[in-house]
Amino acid sequence: MAVYIVSYDLNSPGKDYTELLRQIRSYTHCHALKSLFFIETTKSASEVLDHLMRYIDGNDSLYVTRLTGEWGANRHMACTNWLKDRNGRF
């Protein structure tokens, strides 16, 4: 399993992004910041990106980045323990 950061800017005012969020939450995940999730999956970054691109508009932005080691947080936040529990997997 790999751990990825999924981060986005949703730029279509009034658009309902409920399905995008449902799709992100379909992975084992932790919602870290307003527009940032950590997910765990056996898929590649490009597979996750292709999957999620179906639920955004052309003017939205989406990053899927694999965590490969060191990370830090400025304080104990909701996903700190989630990441610590997976630290040996990336």
Q: Taking the domains of the chain in order of start, what are their residue ranges?
A: 2-69
Which H or E run includes 7? strand 2-9
Pairwise CA distance, residues 40 & 33, whole Å: 16
* Architecture of the structural domain at 2-69: 2-Layer Sandwich (3.30)
Profile the chain (90 residues) by mean pLDDT over runs of 10 residues: 96 89 98 96 98 95 93 86 84
82: its two tokens: 């989630």
